[in-house]
A and B are shown apart, each in its own frame.
Chain A
Amino acid sequence: MSEPKEGVVVAEGDKFFLDLAGSRVELLPQMMGGVDNLKSLAGQKVEILYSEPTRFVVGLQAGRRPPILCYYQPGPYWQRTAEAEPAPQYHLVITDEAGIRRPIILCYVPAPELVKGIEYEVRRNLANRLLQEGYISADVHEKILGGRSAT
């Protein structure tokens, strides 16, 4: 998978985005240390560091020896790549240019707190089993698997 190495924090009106090679992910102030923090990062190029594809971590970091300011989860960009290439559980660590290139992870957060969504294959298998075992009807089965975009 092609992974952007850097992005730009963009402010538009009251909203903030991380521009990743033309693909935008909204940054929620309440998860990013607040509006003031994002305002201070607006317009700046930020480096994207990748943690191991394991089920933990990470944060938006700025400055040297920074505290973890907030946690960030894979957004729509990552959902799309995850569909093309199932299984990765990537998380991001974002630092500014002056940040530590291999940031010190100050804390670990269990994946369920961060990772949202169950992969489509898992959902489909579950739905198939519920149908085969008679817990749901064919109509409901079709309805609950009607789209692929949820995860």
Chain B
Amino acid sequence: MWGAPSAPVPAGADGEMSTREIRDLVDALRAEAPVENLALSGGEPLLRDDLPEIVAFLRQRGIAPVIITNGALLTAAKVEALRDAVNFEITLFSYRPAVHDELAGRRGAWSGAIDAMANLRNAGRDFVAVFVATRLNYMDLEKTAELAIAVGAYGLMYNRVNVSAHNLRHAGRLLPAPGMIRENLDALEAIGEKYGLAIAVTVVVEPCVVDVRCYKHIHFGWCPLAGENAYFTIDPSGNVRICNHSPVLLGNIRRGGFGAIYRNHAYVRRFRDTWPAECAGCEPELKAICRGGCKAASEQCYGTLARVDPFVTISRTLAG
């Protein structure tokens, strides 16, 4: 799978791509790589008026478009216009409107997310509710998941908040402690068993922090190490990064092919080959699962791939 536009990005020098440029980009990508899925994220992808056109184009090219959104602009009319999207991912921080709005940073955000889910459900569309766990909302997970199921979500995604250069100084207040994550995973396991719906954890929970091998109803995602099934990220200016959390720009796809980056870029090779020093003594079975954790977080926070994900070290200091 190859992902595309994503999260907060370093400012590009070239400005946002036009619809035509995005179409050309997709065709160029398809010529070089087996693009199967493409996630349209942001920021907020629904801010682009041409999103329906882009989504329809992707479907014409045999690519499954996924839209990652906060739901604020996902009206019933927009849902209809985006009929070619195969899936939507909508963030739901809590069943409590005030908690969701606080974490989203906007009053009314919760209502927007619920309305969007209802619009999708009424239109018979597939969507997944995404719960980002922090110390402020982890205790709301179970009821939030039940609310999402009641609205009509076919799946749940659970992500602990990932550490970045921007939130590192707040990590002690933001990051859920290992016991909190374990409590959440236990609840999700029970929900998965009871309702039989898809549950995925896509931000790495390193098994040296929480042993995830006991959870049979939860799919855990691990870093694809810029290899097969990698989700490279292309920002609105055409800058390429290894994933949406990596701060390192590998080049601009408008000035060079993607294949050269994938095959030859020195940083990509280093990303694949570097093991954090702290992982040296780890048992082989855990290393095989974990693949060194989230190296992009290490790069963000420490400027190196050679240190372990700050979540691992910080979590040892967290109470709870």
Interface residues of A (CB under 8 A from B): 14-15, 28-31, 34-35, 55, 76, 79, 111-113, 115-118, 122-124, 126-127, 129-130, 135-136, 140, 143-147, 149-151
Extra 12 A-B pairs, beta carbons < 8 Å, given A34-B62, A118-B149: A28-B86, A30-B36, A30-B62, A31-B64, A112-B198, A122-B149, A126-B146, A135-B143, A136-B95, A147-B118, A149-B122, A150-B152
| Interface contact A143-B118, CB-CB below 8 Å | yes
Q: Are B121 and A147 in contact (CB under 8 A)?
A: yes
Name the residue among B36, B115, B150 with the largest chain A CB count within 10 angstroms: B150
Cβ contact within 8 Å between A126 and B86: no
Beta-carbon contact of B197 and A144 below 8 Å: no
| B68 contacts chain A at the CB level, 8 A cutoff | no
Set B59, B62, B151: member contacting A144, Cβ < 8 A: B151
CB <8 Å contact, B149 and A30: no
Contact with A112, one of B60, B124, B146, B199 (Cβ below 8 angstroms): B199
In the complex, chain B residues 97-146 whose Cβ is within 8 Å of any chain A Cβ: 114-115, 117-118, 120-126, 143, 146
Q: How far is the CA of A118 from the CA of B62 in the complex (A)?
A: 28
CB contact between B122 and one of A34, A140, A146 (< 8 Å): that residue: A146
- Nearest to B110 among chain A residues (CB) is A140
Q: Within the assembled complex, what's the spacing in Å between the Cα atoms of A126 and B150?
A: 6
Residue of B nearest to A146 (CB): B118
Q: Which A residues are CB-close (under 8 A) to B114? A: 140, 143-144
Chain B, Cβ-Cβ closest to A14: B60
CB of B92 to closest CB in A, whole Å: 12
Task: For the complex of A and B, list the 7 residue pairs with the smallest distance between their C-beta atoms, beginning with the closest.
Answer: A150-B121, A150-B152, A147-B122, A116-B154, A127-B150, A112-B198, A126-B150
Decide if B195 touches A30 in the complex (CB within 8 Å): no
Q: Which of B211-258 contact A (CB under 8 A)?
A: 217
Residue contacts A-B, CB under 8 angstroms, 10 given: A116-B154, A126-B149, A130-B147, A144-B118, A144-B150, A146-B122, A147-B118, A149-B121, A150-B151, A151-B154
Residues of chain B at the chain A interface (Cβ within 8 Å): 36-37, 59-60, 62-64, 86, 95, 114-115, 117-118, 120-126, 143, 146-147, 149-152, 154-155, 192, 195-199, 217
**CB-based contact A149/B195 at 8 Å:** no
- Contact check, B149 vs A123: say whether CB atoms are below 8 A apart: yes
B86 to A, closest residue via Cβ: A28
Nearest B residue to A15, CB-CB: B59
CB-CB under 8 A from A28, the residues of chain B are: 64, 86
- Report chain A residues within 8 Å CB of B149: 118, 122-123, 126
Question: CA A142 – CA B210 in complex, angstroms?
Answer: 39
Q: How far is the CA of A72 from the CA of B125 in the complex (A)?
A: 16
List, in ascending order, chain A residues with CB within 8 A of B117's CB.
144
Does A30 contact B192, Cβ atoms closer than 8 Å?
Answer: no
Contact of B197 among A31, A112, A124 (CB under 8 A): A112
- Chain B residue numbers with a CB within 8 Å of A136 are 95, 147
In the assembled complex, the Cα of A111 lies from the Cα of B60 at a distance in Å of 28
- With beta carbons under 8 angstroms apart, the residue of A115, A135, A146 that contacts B147 is A135
Contact A123:B150 (CB < 8 A) given known A130-B95, A135-B143: yes
Please state if B95 and A149 are interface contacts (CB–CB under 8 Å). Answer: no
Does the CB pair B62–A130 fall under 8 Å? no
Given contacts A29-B62, A126-B146, A147-B121, contact A118 B152 (CB under 8 A): yes
A143 CA to B59 CA in the complex, in Å?
31
On chain A, the residues within 8 Å of B155 by CB distance are 112, 116
A118 to B63, CA, bound (A): 26
A150 nearest CB across to chain B (Å):
3
Closest chain A CB from B99 CB (angstroms): 12
| B-side contacts of A118, CB under 8 Å | 149, 152, 154, 195, 197
Chain A CB within 10 Å, residue with most, of B114, B123, B124, B125:
B124
Task: Report whether A150 and B120 are in contact in the complex, using a CB–CB cutoff of 8 Å.
Answer: yes
Determine how close the nearest CB of chain B comes to the CB of A62; give it in whole angstroms.
18
B108 nearest CB across to chain A (Å): 14
Q: How far is the CA of A147 from the CA of B37 in the complex (A)?
A: 29
Contact in complex: B62, A111 (CB < 8 Å):
no
**Which residues in B have their C-beta under 8 angstroms from that of A15?**
59
User: In the complex, are the beta carbons of B147 and A144 less than 8 A apart?
Assistant: yes
